[in-house]
Chain A
Amino acid sequence: MQSIQTTKRRKTFSSLKKVKRKNPFLKSLKKDYQLYLLALPAIIYFILFHYWPMYGVQIAFKDFIAVKGITGSPWVGFKHFERFFKSFQFWRLMKNTIGVSLYQLIAGFPIPIIMALLLNQTKNKRFKKTVQTVTYAPHFISVVVLTGMLYIFLSPRNGIINQFLSLFGIDSIFFLGDPKYFKSVFVWSGVWQNAGWGSIIYLAALSGINPELYEAAKVDGATKLRTIWHIDIPGIMPTAVILLIMNVGKIMNVGFQKAYLLQNSLNVESSEIIATYIYKIGLLQSQYSYSTAIGLFNTVINIILLVSVNKISKIVSDTSLW
């Protein structure tokens, strides 16, 4: 934050000096043309694949006709949005998307923090290293392989989970064919895959805490539990708040790939989220404008969420993204 402000000051200062010359922009372009050229390929990439699609978002307010193109298609105002808000799918999609997301946040957010706090207290270096190596590994497994593993382990016929449950006399459960289990399968497999990786950032924050604080705590006779409570947790708070803001900003972005791969006709009632619906409506049914409208609605909600959470956090804890 601070560095941005100082560069800003420096910039206004240097532009003051240049004011009397011809055109400051052209001049800086001449001075830095090599740097601009280096950045050019990436700039072209972003214009083509990020800014051009943003221009195309206007089809959300049009009836897109392929032969007429994006610009030639007739405007229809908020027709597609109204259709979406009135459709029976709307509440179901909102309920599923927000439901999975909140569940994911509540279950997935604290676990990496707890893991980091516990790992930080282990004196045995080799044990610590082993736990870290093993728990980071699933992060690199592809979503397809993860879903494949879930289908195998949760199979009602011979999956090990059901074999395990049968030891306690529990009847076989068809986890992936029952809407009521979808959210739990989605969230807990995600925790299994990413909790270890998520703890790295907190471990980094913990290693940055001033060692004198621990010395002082030791002199005062604080137990480990008290050290965690009074030193570790306040130490990682800023990191946790930033990550929480970012996660809340993504609350309407439930991963398309996993939901799509875990979805089948039996659990679709709870596995249909906004992202999978956009894909089906847009690419499989070719309702381009309608699909784009739903996507735009989603993005707008995301931005509103991000900005408001950031604002709240700025007031409450003095920590913010920008």
Chain B
Amino acid sequence: MKSKIKRSKEDLTFDIINYTVLTLILVIVAYPLYFIVIASISDPDAVNNGLVWLLPVDITVEGYKRIFQDVRIWTGYKNTFLYTIVGTFINITLTMMIAYPLSRKDFSGRRFLMIFLLITMYFNGGLIPTYLVVKNLHLNDNWWVMVILGAVSVYNVIIARTFLQNTIPEELYEAASIDGCSHFLFFIKMVLPLSKAIIAVLTLYYGIGHWNEFMRALIYLRDEKLYPLQIILRSILVQNMSQDPMMGDVEDAVEMARIGELIKYGVIIVASVPVLLLYPLLQKYFVQGVMIGSVKG
């Protein structure tokens, strides 16, 4: 009896600490995101003076107006959309096409192909040798470099292969092949329709990767007309910011700086909206992907 009371007391303390810690974590993660949202529609002076904490002050949409007037933003948006859609399509096609043979235990090239893929995970040519290859193929400063480079990720192939192994029984093909079904037909008619869940996961992983891609554009693109959103964002958010202390309190620049701040908050929202809108709807798929990936051993 006594030990039971002692135990429930200890458990109660544990619960209190547990909920407090988790709530604290929740606030630490959520507040910066929330602050960006309210700051983007508040008067910049109020934000600068630390008056905006919980609710927006003197609501204004001037920042957003200016953002949508900026041609660069629209070009960036258009390019990123295009890279994301075409790129993800290529990703899914190639990944599923190689994942299927790898999932078949009777495939003679299975072991060799797996090693062929795994080597690239640990050893790569590095920045310059890859750059030279891209240049050789005349993909430099070319639209295609954004969708072809990184067309297949070994990690995602492994996830897809594991999924296929667990969902599509070997006997299914055996049965179909008796009726004269080829691997191609089987892949299109049976494998793809049965793989909707994994295709959803892969679309999300690859799609978000394309949406957030920055480095590839930095290295390979010089033509401003090809710039994706992330490059535009950097010039607004980061490059301008590094000069922050230099601008100091120059009288003429005060108004410019004032609006500049507002634009920065707004631009973060505008760039993240597509991802943040999709996120709650697709959360279960993300998690599913991690789970499948974790049992690959």
When A56-B125, A140-B279 are in contact, do A38 and B22 touch as well, CB less than 8 Å?
Answer: no
Cβ-defined partner of B130 (8 Å) among A45, A49, A148 = A49
B10 to chain A minimum Cβ distance, whole angstroms, is 5
Bound complex: CA A40 to CA B108 (Å): 14
Known: A151-B238, A303-B122. A43 touches B108 (CB 8 A): no
The distance from the CB of A248 to the nearest CB of chain B, in whole angstroms, is: 13
Question: Do A35 and B104 touch across chains, with their CB atoms under 8 A apart?
Answer: yes
Cβ contact within 8 Å between B286 and A136: yes
- Measured CA separation A54–B130 after assembly (Å): 8
Interface stretch (choices B56-64, B65-73, B194-202, B209-217): B209-217
Distance, CA A56 to CA B131, complexed state (A): 10
Collect the chain A residues with CB atoms within 8 Å of residue B108's CB: 28-29, 31-32
Question: Is there an interface contact between B116 and A46, defined as CB atoms closer than 8 Å?
Answer: yes
Residues of B near A130 (CB, < 8 A) are 26
Query: Which chain A residue shows the least CB distance to B257?
Result: A157
A144 to B109, alpha carbons, bound, how many Å? 41
Cα(A45)–Cα(B30), bound, Å: 40
Chain A CB within 10 Å, residue with most, of B3, B125, B149, B272: B125
Q: Assess the A70–B214 pair: CB atoms within 8 A.
A: no
With contact pairs A38-B100, A157-B244 given, residues A239 and B214 touching in the complex (Cβ less than 8 Å): no
- Shortest B67–chain A CB gap in Å is 14
Q: Are A292 and B32 in contact (CB under 8 A)?
A: no
A-facing residues in B207-266 (Cβ within 8 Å)? 208, 211-212, 214-215, 219, 230, 233-234, 236-238, 241-242, 244-245, 261, 264-265
A288 touches B238 (CB 8 A): no
**Do the beta carbons of A38 and B123 come within 8 Å of each other?**
no
Contact status of A306 and B122, CB under 8 A, knowing A174-B245, A288-B128: yes
Given A59-B128, A134-B29, A140-B208: A145 and B116 within 8 A (CB)? no
Assess whether A163 is interfacial by the CB under 8 Å rule.
Answer: yes
Q: Does B129 contact A (CB under 8 A)?
A: yes
Q: Is A160 an interface residue (CB 8 A)?
A: yes
User: Chain B: which residue is nearest A289 at the CB level?
Assistant: B128
Contacts known (A140-B275, A261-B238); A283 close to B294, Cβ less than 8 A? no
Alpha-carbon distance A34/B109, docked complex (angstroms): 12
Q: Say if the beta carbon of B187 comes within 8 Å of chain A.
A: yes
Q: In the assembled complex, which residues on chain B have CB atoms less than 8 Å from the CB atom of A271? A: none
* A27-67 Cβ-contact flags toward B at 8 Å (1 or 0): 01101101111110111011011111111110100000000
Smallest CB gap from B291: residue in A: A204
| Contact count band on B | 35 or more
Residues of A contacting B290 in the complex (Cβ-Cβ under 8 angstroms)? 197, 200-201, 204
Cα–Cα, bound, A252→B69 (Å): 43
Q: Choose the segment among A88-96, A100-108, A119-127, A179-187 that binds chain B (4+ C-beta atoms closer than 8 Å).
A: A119-127
CA A55 – CA B124 in complex, angstroms?
Answer: 10
Q: Are A192 and B28 in contact (CB under 8 A)?
A: yes
Residue picked from B10, B97, B128, B242, most chain A C-beta under 10 Å: B128
Residues facing B in A229-267 (CB within 8 A) are 239, 242, 249, 256-257, 261, 264
**Are A56 and B283 neighbours in the complex by a CB distance under 8 Å?**
no
**Which residues in window 192-221 of A have CB below 8 A to B?**
192, 196-197, 200-201, 204-205, 221
Q: Are A302's CB and B187's CB within 8 A?
A: no
A257-B157 in contact (CB<8A) = no
**B152: Cβ under 8 A from any A Cβ:** yes
A11 within 8 A of B: yes
* A residues in contact with B174, CB < 8 Å: none
Q: A45-B94, A141-B272 are in contact. Are A283 and B151 (CB under 8 A)?
A: no
Contacts of A29 in B (CB 8 A): 108
Q: Report whether B133 and A53 are in contact in the complex, using a CB–CB cutoff of 8 Å.
A: yes
Q: B32 near A221 (CB under 8 angstroms)? A: no
Is A54 in contact with B123, judged by CB distance below 8 angstroms?
yes
Q: How far is the CB of A313 from chain B (nearest CB, A)?
A: 13
| A115 is an interface residue with CB less than 8 A from chain B | yes
Interface status of B47 (Cβ within 8 A of chain A):
yes
List the A side residues contacting B151 at CB < 8 Å: 42, 45, 49
28 contacts between A and B (CB under 8 A): A34-B183, A35-B107, A38-B97, A38-B187, A39-B102, A43-B113, A53-B132, A53-B133, A55-B125, A56-B125, A57-B125, A115-B22, A134-B29, A134-B30, A145-B271, A147-B237, A148-B237, A152-B264, A200-B290, A223-B14, A225-B14, A279-B219, A282-B127, A282-B128, A282-B131, A283-B131, A292-B126, A298-B126
Contacts beyond the supplied A56-B132, A140-B208, A145-B272: 10 A-B pairs with Cβ under 8 Å: A35-B107, A36-B101, A39-B113, A45-B94, A49-B130, A50-B125, A53-B126, A133-B283, A148-B264, A160-B35
Interface residues of A (CB under 8 A from B): 1, 4, 7-8, 10-11, 28-29, 31-32, 34-39, 41-43, 45-46, 48-57, 59, 70, 115, 118-119, 121-122, 127, 130-131, 133-138, 140-145, 147-149, 151-153, 155-158, 160, 163, 174, 177, 192, 196-197, 200-201, 204-205, 221-225, 239, 242, 249, 256-257, 261, 264, 278-279, 282-283, 288, 291-292, 295-296, 298-299, 302-303, 306, 321
